[in-house]
Each structure stands twice: as C-alpha cells, then as structure tokens.
A and B are shown apart, each in its own frame.
Chain A
Amino acid sequence: MMRWMFLALAIAVCLLLGLAVGEHWINPFAAHDALDRTILWDLRLPRLLTAFAVGGLLALAGAWFQVLLGNPLAEPYVLGVAGSASAGAVTGLMFVPDSAWVMSAGAFAGAWLGIVIVMVFSRLGPNRMLLAGVVLAAFWSAVLALLLALLPEQGLFRAFAWMMGDLSHSDLPLAVLLLAWVVALVCGLFLSRSLDVLLLGERHAEALGVDVKRLRQRLLLLASAVTALAVTAAGTIGFVGLVIPHLMRLLFGSLHRAVLPASAIGGGLLLVLADCAARTVIAPAELPVGVLTAMIGVPVFLLLLSRRA
C-alpha cells in the first residue's frame, strides 16, 4: 500500500514538475500572466500528457513482450518495429520534407509493415519469432542506413532527432494517445491472470487451462499496436520499455495485476521526467528525450537491482 501511495505522490510531483520546468520556470499555482497560462495549458500540458501516455504505452508493451517471448531482455523494439517505423518515417521525410504529419504516417505504416512480417513467424514459437525479429531488425537497420544515405542534407537533422525520440512534433491527437493508454491498460488487466500463468511456461499454462496460442496472438497484436502508436507519436525512445517493467517487478512483485498499472504509470513518469530534463539542460535548445530516458532509467534500475541482490 505504501508503494502505491509513493507512486501516487510521484505522479503529483512529476506532473507539477512537467508543468513548471522549461526554458522559463512557471509556478502552476500562480500563473496569472496570460502568456504563462498559454505556455502552461496550451504547450506544456499537452506535451506532458503526450510524454506520460507514450512512456506508459512503451512500458506496457515492454512488459507484454517480456512475457510473450519469455525473455527478460525483450523490449518493445525487440522484433524490429523501431527499425521498420524509422524506415517508414524517413521514407515519408524523403517525399514530403516539411510535413511532420507525412513523417508520422510513414512511421505508422512502417511499424505495421514490420509487425505483419513478424506475425508470419509467430506460429513458429517464441524463440524463433525472437530470432526472426532480431534478423528483421538488422534488415530494417540496413534499409534505414540506405534511406539516410539518400536523404537530402536538410532532412537529416529532423530524421536523427525523431530516431532518438522527439516529443516536440507529435501529430497524433492527444485524446487518441490517452484513450490508447486507458484501453491498453484495461486489456492488460483483463489478461493479467493468463499472463501470470504464462510465467510458468507454455505447457504449465496450458495445463492450467490457458489457451496459449490464442493468448500469444492477442498479446503480440496488442503489444505491437501499442508500440506502433508510441513510435508514431514520439519516435524511437529506448530503455523505458526494457527498464520500467523490471523496476516495477522489483517494487510491486511479479503479478501482472500490479505490474501492468505500475508500469503504465511508471513509464509515463520516467518519460515526463526525461522530457523535463531534455527541455532544460541545454535550453533554449532541446536534447533528444531518448538520451535522457537511458541516463535516468539505467542508473535507477541498476541501483535497485544491486540493493535487491
């Protein structure tokens, strides 16, 4: 109970920080100036909520992929979705260099192309699917390198910024992202007992009445759809999907009725914090948020891991 209260407190602190921090510090409780109010509610709040939703979606997808593949090193991009989405985004950038919308559409299409190809291999079982995903990731990296080599110079900065995580140009409606966060969490909770049983291995799960084949299909579709949405909204942001589920397991135990809500919140908070840092460290310029997620998430995770050991 104490841990959940700590998480609730962390939500309040992070949301306030997300509003207050920026090139100009603004006290959300004393923003009487019209400009301050515009910055707070029209610029920072949508961005903060986008970061929260994207971080939560990535952490949920990470938790699902880890169980789906039975591999603690799995994360949302393990099956090559990041590579295919990046290739799609850069393709969009090649054809319409000035349109963030076309780039997002390209990322979404690329992510789904990658997912559909991986799904062909899903019937071969988790190990072979993982192997196929790793090989496909290498393939998409090669395609991406080719596209970047062909991309006009003015598009390169935009492409690299997106590939390292970019919350400043999200074109997905905020309502879609928040709704996706809620739907994904509800679906996850609905499947939580089956996910717990799957931790015992495929055969034991089937022996306990879980239709493992159907569960894997649902999980793959759900995790992939969530990853595609997150990557479309904010580019490829690493470490959230890998680190947060493990961090939440260390704090809240292994059962998914706790791990999934904690990950959805914890992932969101990590990305909000990372975005605060990204906006302020070299203000008025911005750092790629993916760099910050790794710099915050990895030491925290290693600290907790060593304490638990």
Chain B
Amino acid sequence: MTRTSDRRVERRYDPLLTEPVVVSIGPQHPSLAAPLRLTVLADGELIERVTPEIGFMHRGVERLCQQRPWAACAGLLSRCEWLSGSCGDYLLSAAVEELTGIAPPPRALWLRTTVLELSRLASHLFWWGDLGLELGAITPIFWGLREREGALDLLAMLSGERYHHGYIVPGGVRHEPPADFYPALAAYLARLPKAFDAYEELFSDNAIWVNRAELIGVLESEHAMLSGASGPVLRASGVAHDLRKDAPYAAYSEVEFGVPTGEHHDALDRYRVRMQEMRESVRILSQCVGRLAGPDAVPGIVRRSELPLAVGELKPPAGEVYVALEGPRGELGLTAVSDGGPCPVRMHLRSPSLYHLHLLDELCRGYLLADIFVIYASLDIMVGEVDR
C-alpha cells in the first residue's frame, strides 16, 4: 500500500470488485471518551467517508436556560465544557456585564485570567493523556492526570470545587483567594516546565507517534476558516488567531505570551501547538502571580456588588449580545438575548468542537482506518460541548 505526498493512500485496482464496508465506531468505544458514533464507509482499510452522529448526550441546555434565572444558567453552561468548567461561568458573567454595562474591577480581571489559564492547563493535560491512550500508550494518561491534579487542587482551593468552579460571577469573582493559594500556585508553576520536558522526551519525538501523525489529517487554512475551525486547530493550520490577542478580555491585554502556529497543518502540528500553548499558559500564570501577590499587586475589590448573586434577582436590561473567549478547544461563544426579565429569552452556545467534529469527514478521507483516532485525538473533541 503506497501513500501520496500528503500521505493519503492511493486506491489500487481491485480485480475482485469488493464492496465497501460500513464500520460503526461507538457510541461506546474505548477510544471515545464520551458517547459519539462515527459511521465509517471503508474500502478495505481505506476510508471513503466518515459520518459523525451526535446527540447521545443532548440535555437541551439552551431550552433549559430559557426557563432558569440568569445566575442559574452558569451551572448549565459549565456542564457543557466540564474539562475547563470556568469557561461557562465566564461567558455568562461577560454576557450579563455587557448587557448591564457594569465592568468588573481590575483585580477580578487578573483572578479571572488565572482561573481561565488553570482551566486551560487542566483541559490540555487531560487531552495529552487521552491522546496517548487512544494510540495505545498507557503512560501519558498517568503523567497527564498527575499534573492535572495540581491544577484541580488549585481551583478547589479557590472555589471548593474541582470541576464546576462557579468562581467567576457577574461583577467579578466570588471572593479573594485564601492566603496559601499564591505560594501553592508558584510551586505548581515551578514544577510544570520540568514535567513538560519529560512529556516531550517521552512522547513528542517518539518515532512511533511522529510516524503516525506526520502529514496525517492535513487541514488547509482557507478551508479551516470557511468551516468554522478555531483555536489550536486553526492555529495549527497556520492562522495566528487567538482571541486573547485579537479581542482581549479579562487581563490578557496586559500579559505577554506567544501564539504558536503550525507549518504543515497536520495532526502533528495540532499536537505541537497545544504542547507549546501549555508552556505559554505557565508564562501567563507567572505574570498573574506577580500582579496578584507581588509588590506590583493590583489593589482593590474583586466584585462589583451592583450585580446581585442571589438566583432570581439578576435582571439584565433588554438587549442581545455575543460574547466569546479563547477556550482550550477554540472560540467558545455565547449569544444571549434578554427582555429585562429574570430568565434569558434565548441562549445559544457556539461550540468549537461541533465544527471540528464535522471536519472529520474531509480530514479522514483517503487515509487508513487506523488514522481515524490519530486525527480524532488531534482535534480534541469535547462531546458535552457538541451535544449541549
């Protein structure tokens, strides 16, 4: 079997005229972290078409939001993106602040940046471990979860919760972190680069992984943009777009960090972009520690009390808004419409994974069945966010 220059497999003359077979992967499958079915049409081992079937986890979040007070919607949204649960909290808070015109205090912006970057690390570390697992390597999941525990412990110190933090609230953040949070965060940041070096040594240059991912699942930048790709998937296609740079929110406009991009637009580039992003997150968090606890610490309150926290009391004025953040998987957006009442009229979550999942068909065509999980893992799909 020969591969072309982009490593797609050339179809060979088939004297037996064998018919293509349909392979159903999922909804329960060891390589799928959450329920999802991939119906694959294959000619032998050659993929002809991949049809993703979703909705196994659909909970009607958008409909439920229409029947819940604004403050209660944050819990529903954070359960769409549970690996970085603060993203939902942030989106709801940003939408309410945009509608009311009340901006959070500067210190809260730095605390939000800290929480969002810890969430990104928690998500990327799980992705790295899961990627290894999908390829048959067992060590990464243990190593990745070991470092991820540190991020979850820090988030639990802030909020008392490991997954759905509820720390970011309309008007700022819930409260000041405990005094031992900053030394713990600094110690965590000191050990992460060494852990990343060990990851790279173990996996990144491993010939087995590189041979399976190099020039596999190539996504060109133009098509990526027209199809709604964002985040690391878009950056690996060579587009240096990051909402933290291009439309800064929280305290990102005052933070220095790089935006890694890919050269070959393949699965390996998507992997490398995320690995570099984790190092950039450590850079951002180090700057956050300096601005929250050092001699240059930003003073002041952490929450504007004009926005009530009690469920049912929050009534943003009539209007509509689209807010977005650079989540671990890409642009996570929220369209919120208010009529001035206690519940939103319409809430729509823009899910980056939904669009990345529907790119799977084009990315897999012409490759081998064994390449599906390399491509799937490189996209970092979050099914909770797809199904909502």
Q: Do A and B bind each other?
A: no
